[in-house]
């Protein structure tokens, strides 16, 4: 009957009606999500502006947990009726409070474990945490590359709950995740975003601890050595020395060699492992910096031999 209200069952009798229902539901659902995330973003900025002291970090953790709980309730009430809605939720919406939760937890752990008195020990501690972050990016370099490039072809695999139908029979964390509120890669994506923030936080701390120091041999500004090549070239050199086992009889690891170069040249190399992964993915001459050094040294020897 024209003008009569459609019942819930009538809505699903015709495909056109189903489309109208899902479209309006998606719109209302997005409005709810946007409201929650807008409120969250405002509050999390207020917390981060205050400080990174333990009380503020605890506030951040509580805010993230409350927001995730609100999002879970909305999902239960409204559902995620299309693949598009599901991907958007787990890729773009849930990742926001989840990544901040991981961030607050990580920096909270750092603040509780860092040395209290010695500034130099604090710098060394923060540098070790940076190298751990680099290792994380190295382990997940393929996924990080996929996300950074804006690819979407594997989103149905990464960001829908269908992939969790084949759950693992193991004692690992994957076996205990809520299949109605998780996908195979939503946690990893949140970790990637969180570790980017953690890296920035650690670099800022190191810079503040280093301010006002010369950090080079004998403390004389006239003896200052500056690396004027690219950081990528320096990473190539570090890995070449490591692979050649020419430092400490081959017992020095990448982190130790990197720390030595950072001190020598007063430079930050926060993502050595990630940079190395990118070098490996190059097409063509991956070691052109070393090849150029060999060429220039050989040329100089030839020129010197001419005299």
Taking only the tens place, the pLDDT of each residue in 60-112 is: 999 999 999 999 999 988 888 889 999 999 999 999 999 999 999 999 999 88
The predicted model scores a pTM of: 0.61
Closest CA to 184 of 158, 145, 154, 152: 158
Of 51-55, 99-103, 212-216, 281-285, which gets the smallest average pLDDT?
212-216
Helix and strand element counts for the chain (H, E) = 13, 0
Q: Burial of 226 by CB count in 10 Å (0-12 exposed, 13-18 middle, 19+ buried)?
A: exposed
pLDDT given for residue 101 in this prediction: 96
Residue 185: is its pLDDT beyond 90? yes
Helix axes 272-280, 254-265, angle to 10 degrees: 110
CA atoms within 13 A on the CB side of 236: 18
Residue 214: is its pLDDT beyond 60? no
Residue 25: is its pLDDT beyond 50? no
Residue 173: is its pLDDT beyond 80? no
Contact assessment for residue 30 and residue 75, using Cβ atoms and an 8 Å cutoff:
no
The Cβ of residue 159 has, within 10 Å, a number of other Cβ atoms equal to 24
CA end-to-end distance (rounded Å), the chain:
104
The Cβ of residue 259 has, within 10 Å, a number of other Cβ atoms equal to 19
- Distances 256 to 139, 217, 238, 259 between C-alpha atoms, Å: 19, 18, 10, 5
pLDDT given for residue 145 in this prediction: 92
Contact assessment for residue 151 and residue 170, using Cβ atoms and an 8 Å cutoff:
no
Residue 126: is its pLDDT beyond 50? yes
Helix axes 288-305, 231-244, angle to 10 degrees: 80
Mean pLDDT of 242-263: 88
pLDDT given for residue 154 in this prediction: 94
Share of the chain above pLDDT 90, in %: 40
Considering only residues 241 and 210, tell me which one the structure prediction assigns the higher pLDDT. 241
Residue 47: is its pLDDT beyond 50? yes
Find all residues with CB under 8 Å of 193, minimum gap 6, and list them: 95, 99
Of 146-150, 164-168, 279-283, which gets the smallest average pLDDT?
164-168
pLDDT given for residue 24 in this prediction: 44
Mean pLDDT of 206-225: 57
Mean pLDDT of the chain: 81
pLDDT given for residue 284 in this prediction: 74
pLDDT given for residue 168 in this prediction: 52
SS (H, E, C) 234-302: HHHHHHHHHHHCCCHHHCCCHHHHHHHHHHHHCCCCCCHHHHHHHHHCCCCCCCHHHHHHHHHHHHHHH
Taking the C-alpha atoms of residue 166 and residue 160, their distance in angstroms, rounded to an integer, is 13
């Amino acid at each position: 009957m024209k003008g009569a209200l459609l019942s819930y069952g009538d809505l699903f009798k015709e495909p056109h009606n189903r489309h109208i229902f899902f479209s309006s539901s998606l719109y209302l659902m997005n409005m709810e999500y946007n409201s929650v995330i807008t409120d969250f973003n405002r509050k999390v900025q207020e917390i981060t502006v205050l400080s990174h002291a333990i009380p503020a970090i605890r506030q951040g953790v509580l805010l993230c947990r409350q927001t995730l709980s609100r999002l879970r309730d909305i999902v239960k009430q409204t559902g995620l009726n299309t693949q598009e809605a599901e991907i958007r939720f787990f890729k773009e919406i849930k990742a926001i409070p989840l990544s901040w939760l991981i961030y607050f937890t990580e920096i909270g752990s750092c603040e509780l474990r860092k040395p209290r008195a010695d500034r130099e020990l604090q710098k060394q501690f923060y540098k070790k945490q940076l190298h751990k972050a680099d290792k994380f990016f190295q382990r997940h370099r393929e996924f990080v590359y996929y996300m950074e490039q804006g690819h979407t072809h594997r989103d149905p695999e990464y960001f829908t709950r269908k992939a969790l139908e084949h759950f693992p029979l193991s004692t690992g964390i994957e076996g205990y995740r809520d299949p109605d509120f998780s996908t195979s890669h939503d946690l990893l994506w949140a970790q990637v975003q969180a570790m980017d923030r953690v890296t920035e936080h650690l670099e800022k701390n190191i810079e503040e601890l280093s301010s006002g120091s010369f950090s080079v041999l004998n403390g004389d500004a006239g003896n200052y050595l500056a690396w004027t090549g690219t950081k990528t070239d320096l990473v190539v050199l570090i890995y070449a020395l490591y692979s050649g086992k020419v430092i400490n009889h081959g017992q020095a690891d990448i982190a130790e060699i990197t720390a030595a170069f950072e001190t020598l040249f007063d430079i930050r190399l926060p993502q050595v492992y990630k940079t190395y992964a990118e070098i490996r993915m190059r097409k063509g001459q991956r070691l052109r910096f070393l090849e150029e050094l060999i060429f220039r040294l050989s040329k100089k020897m030839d020129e010197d031999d001419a005299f």
